[in-house]
């Protein structure tokens, strides 16, 4: 008889609930960017949901306050919702390395990739359950019956049942997925199904990501959004941009980011295999001759100690560095690996912002992508993007209008070809950059996102008792 190994208990120091405090921001900060009818619509929805919520709190629960798209978005949305007079709070759950190894495995498999190859078996489930069970009471001490809870991603799905039993409205918000389900996605969904099913409603970024057992009456498609006034996206002066992109401490391979007489193409990503930073570097060095000689590649990601729920990062960055070191000198001279410090989050965001403004073209060669704020961000800054035609990137980038899409994310030659064609035609680049900015303004700002949540909460609260 075989015994599943006993899971080690989660590390007490990390497995605890922490509240992330966000200062409210008045909603009318967005007003100058929006057409008057959009402002009116937002005001009406917010007033309606405020009335329906009465004294209730809307909670967000995820697993990190920094690094990655979910944390990025929550900072903005929580601030605006609080500024609109709603009571919105944000909690993070913690976990030991074993918990995050399991949730990263789920994350990878929901993207159709085996990840670390480990099993999603009874032992994995026991680790997962034990970590959340240890934090359940802390959540229940805060959340009251009748409140609304948004649980983000697989890391928190396991809280749905206990919250529902407590008479709380539970929405599971999944930020990841692939269009075509396969053995890996099916395995992840088999793990998650009974954890997710107690939720009253599910939110996905794309319809195709939702497995067929999700109740369509309570499935909502809500794509992410960015905050134009956050440190990540706010306008920066030329001198500040110059200083930020040349912060010396962040260069891990290659010389400093070149000065203005060269042009930069940039991919910003967490050090995650599915973002394929290595694939970008490989394509760039192999097809260097296809690009004008003033073009440099910059790959920028967070310092690898900075993102608590991302155990792959150290390995992926190390592999990229090794790869860089083995490149011919000509490619090394024109490629730069940056690891952007995470100790000061505002400074990190401003640095990414500056890099995105410094770049002529944004790249996102992801092999799978739930949405890809790293596509939205350069678009907002008026940069065209060259990106894989996968997941949420397909919704954002109109091919040939705001950038160029790559049908095969693994085709490095096509990537460089697309970059070369844009870089050869600065006017087209500018035109596409303008279209990219308008696309974000019209589809991916916080007002649309808040309205969609307000609608869902209204429908839930009017549907009966939690």
Residues within the interface to ligand UDP (CB under 6 A) = 68-70, 72, 232, 268, 270, 300-302, 340, 348-349, 352, 371-374, 377
Long-range interactions of 41-47: CB distance < 8 A, separation 24+: 41/447, 41/451, 42/447, 42/450, 42/451, 45/450, 45/451, 45/454, 45/455, 46/84, 46/85, 46/86, 46/450, 46/454
Which residues on neighbouring strands pair with residue 169, listed in sequence order? 148
CB of 230 to ligand UDP, least distance (A): 9
* Helix (H/G/I), strand (E/B), else coil: 88: strand
DSSP calls for 229-249: TSTTTS---HHHHHHHHT-GG
CB nearer to ligand UDP: give 110 or 422.
Answer: 110
Can you say whether the dihedral through the CA atoms of 419, 235, 348, 18 is positive or negative?
negative
CB nearer to ligand UDP: give 337 or 416.
Answer: 337
CB nearer to ligand UDP: give 148 or 374.
Answer: 374
DSSP 289: G
Nearest CA among 161, 196, 205, 236 for reference residue 70: 205
- Residue 31 CB neighbour total at 10 angstroms: 14
Contact between residue 342 and residue 67 where contact means Cβ atoms under 8 Å apart: yes
CB nearer to ligand UDP: give 143 or 352.
Answer: 352
3-state secondary structure 105-154: HHHHHHCCCCCCCCCCCHHHHHHHHHHHHHHHHHHHHHCCCCCEEEEEHH
CB of 73 to ligand UDP, least distance (A): 8
CB nearer to ligand UDP: give 67 or 95.
Answer: 67
CB nearer to ligand UDP: give 65 or 163.
Answer: 65
Cα gap 280→388, rounded to integer Å: 11
Q: Are strands 87-92 and 169-174 parallel, antiparallel or unpaired?
A: unpaired
Burial 227-266 (b: 16+ CB within 10 A, else e): bbbbbbbeebeeeebeebbebeebbbbbeebbeeeebbbb
CB of 250 to ligand UDP, least distance (A): 9
Which residues on neighbouring strands pair with residue 174, listed in sequence order? 204
CB nearer to ligand UDP: give 285 or 374.
Answer: 374
CB of 4 to ligand UDP, least distance (A): 31
CB of 353 to ligand UDP, least distance (A): 8
CB of 461 to ligand UDP, least distance (A): 29
CB of 392 to ligand UDP, least distance (A): 8
CB of 345 to ligand UDP, least distance (A): 8
CB nearer to ligand UDP: give 75 or 200.
Answer: 75
CB of 372 to ligand UDP, least distance (A): 5
* Helix (H/G/I), strand (E/B), else coil: 260: coil
CB of 386 to ligand UDP, least distance (A): 15
Residue nearest to ligand UDP (CB): 69
* Phi, psi dihedrals of residue 279, rounded to the nearest 5°: -65, -35
CB nearer to ligand UDP: give 74 or 139.
Answer: 74
CB nearer to ligand UDP: give 122 or 234.
Answer: 234
């Amino acid at each position: 008889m075989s015994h599943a190994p006993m899971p080690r208990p989660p590390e007490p120091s990390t497995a605890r609930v922490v509240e992330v405090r966000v200062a409210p921001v008045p909603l009318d900060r967005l007003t100058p960017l929006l057409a008057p009818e959009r402002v009116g619509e937002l005001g009406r929805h917010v007033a309606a949901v405020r009335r329906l919520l009465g004294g209730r709190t809307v909670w967000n629960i995820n697993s990190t306050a920094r690094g990655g798209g979910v944390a990025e978005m929550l900072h903005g949305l929580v601030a605006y919702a609080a500024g609109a007079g709603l009571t919105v709070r944000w909690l993070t759950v913690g976990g030991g390395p074993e918990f995050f190894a399991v949730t990263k495995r789920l994350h990878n498999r929901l993207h159709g990739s085996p990840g670390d190859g480990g099993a999603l078996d009874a032992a994995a489930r026991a680790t997962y359950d034990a970590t959340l069970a240890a934090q359940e009471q802390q959540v229940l001490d805060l959340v009251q019956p009748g409140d609304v809870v948004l649980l983000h991603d697989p890391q928190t799905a396991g809280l749905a049942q206990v919250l529902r039993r407590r008479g709380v409205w539970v929405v599971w918000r999944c930020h990841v997925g692939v269009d075509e389900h396969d053995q890996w996605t099916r395995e992840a969904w088999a793990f998650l199904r009974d954890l997710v099913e107690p939720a009253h409603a599910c939110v996905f970024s794309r319809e195709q990501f939702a497995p067929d057992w999700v109740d369509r009456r309570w499935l909502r498609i809500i794509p992410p959004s960015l905050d134009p006034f956050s440190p990540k996206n706010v306008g920066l002066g030329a001198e500040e941009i110059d200083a930020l992109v040349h912060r010396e401490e962040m260069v891990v391979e290659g010389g400093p980011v070149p000065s203005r007489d060269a042009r930069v193409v940039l991919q910003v990503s967490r050090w995650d295999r599915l973002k394929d930073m290595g694939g970008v570097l490989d394509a760039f060095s192999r097809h260097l001759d296809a690009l004008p000689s003033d073009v440099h590649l910059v790959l920028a990601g967070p310092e690898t100690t900075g993102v608590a729920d991302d155990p792959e990062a150290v390995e992926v960055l190390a592999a990229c560095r090794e790869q860089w070191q083995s490149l011919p000198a000509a490619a090394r001279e024109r490629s730069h690996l940056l690891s952007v410090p995470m100790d000061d989050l505002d400074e990190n965001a401003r640095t990414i912002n500056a890099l995105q403004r410094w770049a002529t073209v944004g790249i996102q060669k992801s092999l799978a992508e739930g949405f890809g704020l790293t596509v939205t961000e350069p678009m907002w800054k008026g940069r065209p993007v060259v990106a894989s035609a996968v997941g949420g990137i397909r919704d954002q980038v109109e091919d040939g209008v705001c950038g160029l899409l790559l049908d095969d994310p693994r085709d490095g030659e096509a990537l460089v070809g697309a970059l070369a064609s844009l870089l050869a035609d600065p006017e087209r680049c500018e035109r596409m950059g303008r279209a990219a900015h308008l696309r974000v303004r019209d589809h991916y700002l916080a007002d649309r996102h808040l309205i969609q949540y307000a609608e869902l909460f209204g429908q839930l609260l009017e549907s009966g008792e939690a």
